[in-house]
Chain A
């Protein structure tokens, strides 16, 4: 049998399937068979291309030609022109909105540049346990260049000029942090990598450590040279066994090859790395708490100043950066601060990795230039909402952030703009919520998290978040009053103003932000004792629509407490007193007759 020379790839993602891409595959197969090419040309259904707005999408492989908004009547043309005669069908190519040019190769297209990988550049490309693959991709050249050609001051100046800001959430200038630590005179200084990724739903740091551990080693060594530290510590979650294993392998390989240890690259600079384990405490993401944990104590924060740059680990000047921040360092050194500043926005240069999760089709890690809008991330890269449901909100910044609604979907993302709409960048968790998610319940979920993770040192956070959580529980159970709403707001602002550390100061954000954007949902819970999303069990009451029910008995058969009665082919009813609101009848009904509360 002849080898297949060409493949016609048709997107089988949800968006394209809803615009008949499956029928188109059948038509294509018939056309190819009819023209006698079935041995040479394969038709393949693919996963989502992530450009659902232009679907259905057809790609010709290996020509790398990309047709958009293909309709069934265009298929014969594609087959006869492109496959048979080898001529590209111009009018089906994607038209760049700004230049009105037809673009042939998908690499040329603007939307494919939506994702631009700096921090994740090696993830999924190299074998993380083979230092030579890292070297083959230019690894350790930044370190070599720095130790051969730069003074520590030049390195600091370069990072400062790049405008890189901390990717762990705070957004503090990395170069400035290095400069402050470099200027603190001391016999011993430390570089610490914060790999205690605690935001539930964010896992980019783990992915970098698992996919490209040498980048962190190289960057920490550069930082050590820049600030004058000879010891680096990686503080990592004990829950990340694979990342720990790969780091250990990488450190050993770096030591064998003289890239860690004494006189690196024949210079006078020596650097060693240690790994310290966290033990599960969200607050340890805060620098001072992290340092106490590295010292073997309870991870409680202390007042700043003094900043770690002056007095950190064992009282010595310490520079703490997070994993994603470090992953940006080698490319900045190699390609220059100007290159980096050209990506992203003026106040927030570079890219940011987001962990896209929740009710979205393409759950995954994405890295986009700062300034990309949420709409592009959710619809063009994320493939839209699961099941075609309505988008309600996206939570960024995890338990410290807030919700962003439909109205702000076109906000270009950077540190400032997210703050302005009541959320924050955070570590990059992005949880997408649809019409079935109750915002009061989500706020309660986050408060449960923060009050659980509160270290207990300061009263506003220890007791304040507990009270807020109790009030939210009351509301979701239908016991809330208008007075409670007022209390939530007052308490929230009070905690923000008076808590000791970042965890406490940001803990009320999910509540304050949902109160602001979804006040109507709070009102419904309190005034009508009704949960509009149908998520709060205590408020839910199911009913059967007499018009739609055909008496198929499906609901009565699945009901675990037998609270649905009715003769076959007759209208069924639910005994609300017995109903445990499990929702099984709703799922079982094929006629949309069960009404959710």
Chain B
């Protein structure tokens, strides 16, 4: 449906806010967990597509419907591609670098289930984004 006015756009924005609330404030109405995967050229060259597939495989085979995978652009951490960000409601997002398919089971079973972070992979976000 074409958007006909600025008010209509703002109404759509309001209804879509839920989708990104978790990313924005670490809050969420449901218990949805979000995995952001850097899927720009450099990320894909470093293997982020395989990482994405590995997530989807585990999520499918174990019916983990509360985990949602979102492909995003480049975060700028080229030195540590592929990058993966884990957003759990109520927690500060955790950004991982140098993630490969064999690390995915650990992210799901250790980080998400038990709260243990993966050694050697955590990156610290060092920029401010305008709001």
Contact = CB atoms under 8 A, between A and B. Distances in A.
Whether A and B touch directly in their complex, counting CB atoms under 8 A apart, is answered as yes
Contacts of A91: none
A381 B130 contact: no
B79 interface: yes
Contact of B73 (A113, A138, A207, A331): A207
B20 A128 contact: no
B126 A136 contact: no
A331 B129 CA distance: 12
A62 interface: yes
Nearest to B21: A136
B1 A133 contact: no
Given A4-B116, A136-B16, A362-B79, A122 B128 contact: no
B2 A258 contact: yes
Contact of B19 (A45, A62, A136): A136
Interface SS majority for chain A: mixed
Contacts of B19: 132-133, 136
B115 A120 contact: no
A45 B76 contact: no
Size range of the chain A interface in the assembly: 35 or more
Interface in B87-128: 91-92, 94, 97-98, 114-124, 126-128
B53 to A, nearest CB: 17
Contact of B3 (A1, A123, A265): A265
Contact of A124 (B9, B38, B94, B124): B38
A265 B10 CA distance: 12
B13 interface: yes
Interface stretch (A363-371, A390-398, A524-532): A363-371
Given A47-B124, A133-B20, A211 B74 contact: yes
B58 interface: no
Nearest to B71: A127
Contact of B13 (A1, A5, A136): A136
B31 interface: no
A132 B12 contact: yes
B126 to A, nearest CB: 5
A42 B6 contact: no
Given A207-B73, A365-B78, A12 B17 contact: no
B9 A141 contact: yes
Contact of B6 (A148, A240, A363): A148
Most chain B C-beta atoms within 10 Å of own C-beta, residue among A117, A132, A133, A135: A135
A124 B36 contact: yes
Interface in A518-557: none
A210 interface: yes
B32 to A, nearest CB: 14
A42 B117 contact: yes
Contact of B79 (A147, A331, A364): A364
A366 B74 CA distance: 11
Contacts of B122: 9, 44-47
Interface of B: 1-6, 9-10, 12-13, 16-17, 19-20, 23, 36, 38-42, 44, 70-80, 83, 85, 91-92, 94, 97-98, 114-124, 126-130
19 contacts: A4-B115, A7-B117, A9-B117, A9-B124, A50-B126, A112-B126, A112-B128, A123-B74, A124-B83, A126-B72, A128-B72, A129-B71, A132-B16, A135-B9, A136-B17, A136-B19, A140-B3, A211-B73, A257-B2
Given A203-B41, A242-B44, 6 more contacts: A42-B117, A50-B124, A135-B16, A148-B5, A207-B40, A365-B76
5 closest A-B pairs by beta carbon, nearest first, are A211-B73, A258-B2, A124-B75, A115-B127, A365-B76
